[in-house]
Each structure stands twice: as structure tokens, then as C-alpha cells.
């Protein structure tokens, strides 16, 4: 990978340092590196689009950044607001994917694959929710809605990629994998088994997802020779 963009280089350096900080519990490194991740990848996005920014995408990035900062400052009872912010981000990406799909052109025989993906992810959600013991009803319901939104996004992305494969859908698929890895290991670490590796995988999925978010949203706007 060629780093022609200083902001992209800074993003990867900050990501690596933040993951190291989380893995080895180096709080100073986390405090320095984490706040640089989203601004640097957003500057890369602005550079790739020549300043023609997508407002909804900017909101998605901003909500995720706020969620990351709430995690960084260890806000008491911060799980609920963090979940709500992530639901906002996932909902925006559902809008983008639905727009990519163009449901008017969906063939009847292909709808069964969408149903199949939906059933798979909802079953996976059921397994994860079953790990979350002892939650009050409000928290459980928020997590359930969160999981349904992510499951819907995942099903739509998988359907789109396997039925209309393209570079754009490929980046969406990688972005989705990062979302799932991050959230699954967050749930396992916090509600089932506290192993440091799990929280490292959680933050790795979260931080790497930003790169694929930008690649997904800019694929139609960036010529191949400008690819970094």
C-alpha cells in the first residue's frame, strides 16, 4: 500500500499505536493516538473527494468519533449513549446500501438469498444476546435494537455483494466484517469472558472499519490511479 496522503499515513500510525495502547493497557498512548484516528481518516476522505463531502457520511463518522471519545474518557453508564450513537451510524449506512441496491430492480428469485442472510444474522444476534445476562429491560432492549439494525445492515451488504459484486460492494463487505468483529468481541468480553485478546480484537475491528467506510463511500469518486 502506497502512502501518498499524509493523513492516511497518520491514520494508520494512530491506529497501530491505539491498538498497542489498548492491548498493553498503556493509557497515555491511548489518550494520544485515539483522538487522531477519525480526524486523520476524515481528512483523507475530504482529500479523496476534493472537498465534495457527503453530509450523511460526515454525520456517520462524527457519531462514531463521539462514541470512541466516550469510551476513551470511560463515561459512567456510557454503554447506552455509545450504543445509540452507533445505531445512528449503522442506520445511515443502511440508507447508503439500500440506495446502492435499487430495490425496484431486485429479481424475485434473489429475494430468498436476502431472507437467508437475514435469518442467519438474526440467529447470530440471538446467540449473542443470550450471553448478556443480568441486564435491565431498557439496556437489553437497546442492545436488541442495536443488534437488529446491525443484522439488517449485514444482511443487505452480503446480499448486495453476492448478487451485484463490485469494488464498492467489496469495501462495504469488509466494513461490515469489521463492524461485526468489533461488536461481537465487545459483547463477549463484557458479558461472557474477559480475555484481553477479545478487547484488542474489538478495537482493531472498530478502528480498521474507518478505512473501509471511506473506501466504500469514495469508490465511485476516486480514479484507480489515485488509489493510495
The stretch 49-77 carries a mean pLDDT of: 91
Question: In percent, how much of the chain has pLDDT > 90?
Answer: 70
Q: Report the distance separating Cα 36 and Cα 224, nearest Å.
A: 27
Least confident of 27-36, 40-49, 187-196: 187-196
Q: What is the pLDDT of residue 191?
A: 85
Q: What is the pLDDT of residue 225?
A: 41
- 127 has pLDDT over 60: yes
**Residue in 182, 218, 180, 225 with CA at minimum distance from that of residue 202:** 182
pTM of the model: 0.91
Residue 77 confidence class, pLDDT cut points 50, 70, 90:
confident
Which own/partner pairs from 31-37 qualify as long-range (CB within 8 Å, at least 24 positions apart)? 31/72, 34/68, 34/69, 34/72, 35/69, 35/72, 36/10, 36/11, 37/11, 37/68, 37/207, 37/210
Model pLDDT for residues 179-214, shown as the tens digit of each residue = 999 999 999 998 888 898 999 999 999 999 999 999
The stretch 114-128 carries a mean pLDDT of: 93
Q: What is the pLDDT of residue 211?
A: 97
* Cβ neighbours of 67 (radius 10 Å): 20
Amino acid at each position: 500500500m502506497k502512502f501518498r496522503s499524509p493523513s492516511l499515513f497518520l491514520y494508520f500510525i494512530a491506529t497501530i499505536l491505539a491498538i498497542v495502547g489498548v492491548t498493553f493497557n498503556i493509557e497515555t498512548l491511548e489518550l494520544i493516538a485515539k483522538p487522531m484516528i477519525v480526524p486523520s481518516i476524515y481528512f483523507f476522505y475530504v482529500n479523496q473527494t476534493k472537498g465534495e463531502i457527503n453530509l450523511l457520511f460526515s454525520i456517520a463518522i462524527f457519531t462514531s468519533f463521539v462514541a470512541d471519545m466516550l469510551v476513551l474518557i470511560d463515561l459512567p453508564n456510557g454503554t447506552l449513549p455509545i450504543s445509540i450513537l452507533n445505531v445512528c451510524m449503522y442506520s445511515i449506512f443502511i440508507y447508503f446500501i439500500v440506495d446502492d441496491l435499487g430495490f425496484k430492480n431486485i429479481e424475485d428469485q434473489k429475494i430468498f438469498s436476502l431472507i437467508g442472510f437475514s435469518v442467519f444474522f438474526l440467529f447470530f444476534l440471538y446467540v449473542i444476546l443470550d450471553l448478556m445476562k443480568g441486564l435491565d429491560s431498557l439496556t437489553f432492549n437497546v442492545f436488541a435494537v442495536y443488534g437488529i439494525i446491525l443484522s439488517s445492515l449485514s444482511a443487505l451488504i452480503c446480499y448486495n455483494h453476492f448478487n451485484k459484486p463490485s469494488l464498492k460492494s467489496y469495501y462495504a463487505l469488509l466494513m461490515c466484517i469489521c463492524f461485526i468483529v468489533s461488536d461481537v468481541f465487545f459483547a463477549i468480553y463484557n458479558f461472557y469472558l474477559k480475555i484481553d485478546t477479545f478487547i484488542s480484537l474489538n478495537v482493531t475491528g472498530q478502528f480498521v472499519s474507518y478505512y473501509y467506510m471511506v473506501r466504500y463511500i469514495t469508490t465511485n469518486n476516486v480514479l484507480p490511479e489515485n488509489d493510495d
